[in-house]
Amino acid sequence: MLFPMSSARLSSARFQAGIAATLVGFLLVPLLVANAPLEKTMGIVQKIFYFHVPCAWLLMLSTFVCAGGSLAYLFAGSESGDRLALCSAELGVLFGLCVMVTGPLWARAAWGVFWTWDVRLTSSLLLWLMLIAYGLARRYGGTGGRRLAAAMALFAAADVPLVYVSVNLWRGLHPNTKTVSSLAPGMRLPFFVSLVIFSALWGVLLALRMRVERGQARLVELAIEIEDAEGKSS
Amino acid sequence: MKRVSWVSQAARIAWKDLHIEGRSREVVYTMGFMAALVVLVFSFAFISGQETTVGPDAVAGIMWVAVLFSGTVALSRTFDRERESEAIRSLLLSPVPRSAIYAGKLVATAAIMFLVEVLLAPLLAALFSAAIWPHALWLGLLLLLGTIGFCSVGVIFSAALLRARSRDALLGALLFPIVIPVLLSASRATAYLLDPAAPDLDPALFWTRFLAALDVVFVVVGLWSFEPVVMGE
């Protein structure tokens, strides 16, 4: 077997249960969202909330997982930490794209403009830009690119609260951060189920992407082994 | 053998860089010219007809954009000199803590940038009749804090990109998203200081403190992560 460890992990009962639960969840969420009460002023438009907010949460989660993996890579030399950082940064860019597409759509319908320099919009945008920059550093950074990207992830994580505070004060606005706790009771269940299911999707995608990275690393190892063996025999 | 303290090691590395710069003046001239050009480009783009000035917000923005863009020139040269004759290898092999190398490079780059900025401010005052003199010292402090924040991140990136082919293209692209809070707080504070109509300077004081806090966070992360980042060189 070429990848004894990774295939064992992927075929494990827990992982399959995870995939199954995610699939069932994606059948369930639309029903819950469809049955959720309509918001008073925004009406049907507000339904994008169940898609938009979980994506934004996963953008945030990806940044911190990326920083955690980078920390393990930089200070403990953990290769799997580095892979985790790369994969979660990529997922962060993906979910960030969803945020950046759904956000302006919602804003156009609710506020009449595609973009305002609201604190959450601006911080998400900056977070997304940092993850894209992480990807650029990984791809084009040359030999030092991996360590550079890891340092970027640390700075990005340190930046998150600072960005939030500075953008908040920069605009001089005090947006209500209690949106979720002030949700109507009928909206709460669909929202939290959607949040959990989106997080499960994130986890499944991360596991699959990590498997590809592990496979690639193993392939390089095997190629080196073969080269060594050929060198000895000749 | 005499033990040399961390501070004097860092100071010697900074001194070495400043000494080289003092001989060639390469970074001061190129960065200064670049900064002046950015300011002029903005003047040509913004000012039209009979207008002779723009608001304090715009002047502050122009100043900090000029600092950022020209600072990238200085940063890309910070470690460039170490590539000649593989000087970086000797530097990293020397029995000096890596954090002292970082601190030395940070001090040298920030000092060179600061010198250029001090020359840049009067240019802004002349071109846009900006009121830089009433709070000149405060403005100087802001420039210093902003420069430290910018360089504390930039020195690490510059070191890590030492051997990358697309070094110059990448440096700005990677650096700017991270230093946005520095740009934001520095330009806000500057705008309040330059505004003669500002009722009070409380916001400027707040943003100056915020900038100082940012510097502390960035320098700590920098000191801490420099060693593993350059380890493989």
Q: pLDDT band at B222, cuts 50/70/90?
A: very high
Q: Which of A133, A147, A163 sits opposite B160 (nearest CB)?
A: A147
Task: Return the number of CB contacts < 8 Å for A and B.
Answer: 100
DSSP string, B95-119: SS-HHHHHHHHHHHHHHHHHHHHHH
The pLDDT, as a whole number, for residue A163 is 81
The pLDDT, as a whole number, for residue B10 is 92
Structural domain containing residue A102 = 4-233
Is B163 near chain A, with CB under 8 Å?
yes
* Closest among A59, A56, A57 to A130, alpha carbons compared: A59
Buried b (16+ CB within 10 A) or exposed e, A152-183: bbbbbbbbbebbbbbbbbbeeeeeeeeeeeeb
Query: In the predicted model, is pLDDT for residue B45 greater than 90?
Result: no
Distance of alpha carbon A171 from alpha carbon A139, whole angstroms: 35
Phi/psi of residue A115, nearest 5 degrees: -145, 135
Please tell me the pTM assigned to this model.
0.86
Distance of alpha carbon B120 from alpha carbon B198, whole angstroms: 23
Residues B149 and B221: beta-carbon distance below 8 Å: no
Q: In this predicted structure, which of A26-35, B103-112, B207-216 has the lowest mean pLDDT?
A: A26-35
Contacts of B206 in chain A (CB under 8 A): 169
Contacts of A144 in chain B (CB under 8 A): 159-164, 229-230, 232-233
pLDDT digits (tens, 9 = 90+) for B120-150: 999 988 888 888 888 899 999 999 999 999 9
Distance of alpha carbon A105 from alpha carbon B27, whole angstroms: 46
Contact state of A148 with B181 under an 8 Å Cβ cutoff: no
pLDDT digits (tens, 9 = 90+) for B82-91: 887 788 888 8
Residues A103 and A45: beta-carbon distance below 8 Å: no
Q: Which of A74, A162, A165 sits opposite B228 (nearest CB)?
A: A74
* Residues sharing a CB contact under 8 Å with residue A62, sequence separation 6 or more, in sequence order: A88, A89, A91, A92, A95, A96, A131, A202
Contacts of B214 in chain A (CB under 8 A): 162
The pLDDT, as a whole number, for residue B169 is 84
Contacts of A123 in chain B (CB under 8 A): none
Contact state of A166 with B210 under an 8 Å Cβ cutoff: yes
Question: In chain A, how many domains are there?
Answer: 1
Contact state of A148 with B231 under an 8 Å Cβ cutoff: no
Tokens of B58: 């715009």
The pLDDT, as a whole number, for residue B35 is 94
CA B115 to chain CA mean position, Å = 10
Is A147 near chain B, with CB under 8 Å?
yes
Chain A stretch 8-47, residues whose beta carbon is closer than 8 A to a beta carbon of chain B: none
